[in-house]
A = this chain, B = another copy of it.
Amino acid sequence: MTLGSASARPTSSRFPSAHSLIVGGRLFLIDCGEGCQMQMARFKVPFSRLDNIFISHLHGDHVFGLFGLISTLDMTGRLSPLHIYAPEGMQKLLDTISDQFGEPKYEIVVHTVKCHEPELICQFKNLDIYAFSLRHRIETYGYLFKEKEPLLNVIKDSIAEHNLTLEEIGTLKRGEDVVRRNDNGEQTEVLRCEDFTYRPFEPRSFAYCSDTAPFPKLQEWVKGVDLVYHEATYASDLKALSKTTAHSTSEDAAKVALAAGASKLVVGHFSSRYRNLDLLLEEARSVFPETYLAQEGMIFDIPEKLSPMKQRQ
C-alpha cells in the first residue's frame, strides 16, 4: 500500500515516501518518510505486525518518519525486536536520536546493507528479500521481495492409484523421483516426479526501486518481476533536471518495467510542481501500458498465480 507518494516536498495530499507490503501475513515497511505512522493509523495498517523496515537511503524524505514511529511502537508496549535494513549511517542516526529522546524498551536491530548486485539480505519461511544498489546522489538501495519456490504438490488421484507411502509423497514433493525396489533391493519401478506432481503456484515478486537515475543493469536485476514500484519524480519536460538530481522521469520508469518484462508498474515520488499527474501517467503508459500512479491509501495487489491443477481442486 502506498502511504506516501510525494518526493522531497510533500503537498496537501501527498506525503513523503513510505510503503507497506504484506506477504503471507507479514507486514513490511519500505521507506519511512515523515507522517508514515499517521498514514498507517489512517489506513489501518496494523502496527503490531511490523517487525521489518527497509530504508532505501538516508535522505530525509525517506527517513524522517522513523523517529516518531519508533516512539509510538514503544508506547504500544512492544517488546519484540524491530529490524531495520538500511545503508551505512542508520545506527549512528538512531543513536543520536535515542541520546536525546530516550531509548525504546524493545531492541532495534540495524542491518547495514552494503552490496552492488542483488544480494540476499533476509529470508523468511516463504520469502526471500534481496537488496541491490541504485544510482542516486548518495548510497541508495532497491529491494526485491520474492516468494520462495513452493514444495511440489502430488496429484491427488495418483496417491490411491499407486498406493504412495508418506515417504514416497515426501520424496516427490521435494522434486525427486521415487525408486521402488523389491525385497532383494532390485529396482522394480521408477515414479517420475514430473508425472506425479505439479507446482501449486508460481512464486510472486515485487521490486522497489527508490530514487535513482536510469541505468541498464536495473532491468536485469528486476527481470520478470510481477509488480515493480519505480520512482518517477518528473515528466520528460524536466529530463535535464532529472539527470542533474539523479532521478527518473516516468518514461524512464516505464522503460525499466518494459525491459524487465514486469506485469505491472506503479510510479511514485512525484515532484510537488505537478499538480496534475496526467502527463506523467500518459508518458509512462505510452511505453508500458500497465502503469499506475501511486496514491496514498491505494493497494496494489499481486494476485496468487495458482497452477490450473490447483485451481481445479
Residues of chain A whose beta carbon lies under 8 Å from any beta carbon of chain B: 8-13, 15-16, 34-35, 37-38, 41-42, 44, 58-61, 64-65, 67-68, 71-72, 75-76, 89, 92-93, 96, 100-101
Choose among A64, A67, A96 the residue with the greatest number of B CB atoms under 10 Å from its CB.
A64
Q: A34-B34, A37-B34, A96-B96 are in contact. Are A60 and B101 (CB under 8 A)?
A: yes
- The answer to whether A65 touches B9 (Cβ under 8 A) is no
Can you pick out 27 interface pairs between chain A and chain B where the beta carbons lie within 8 Å of each other?
Answer: A8-B72, A8-B75, A9-B72, A9-B75, A9-B76, A10-B37, A10-B41, A10-B68, A10-B72, A12-B38, A12-B41, A15-B38, A34-B34, A34-B65, A34-B68, A58-B100, A58-B101, A59-B101, A60-B67, A60-B71, A60-B101, A61-B68, A61-B71, A64-B64, A64-B67, A89-B100, A96-B96
CA distance A76 to B273 in the complex (A): 11
What is the total number of copies of this protein in its complex?
2
Residues of B within 8 A of A15 (CB): 38
CA distance A93 to B101 in the complex (A): 10
* Chain B minimum-CB-distance residue to A59: B101
Cβ of A296 to closest chain B Cβ, rounded Å? 11
Q: A15-B38, A34-B65, A93-B100 are in contact. Are A8 and B60 (CB under 8 A)?
A: no
Choose among A37, A44, A100 the residue with the greatest number of B CB atoms under 10 Å from its CB.
A100
Cβ of A244 to closest chain B Cβ, rounded Å? 15
Cβ of A21 to closest chain B Cβ, rounded Å? 20
CA distance A67 to B38 in the complex (A): 17
Residues of B within 8 A of A59 (CB): 101
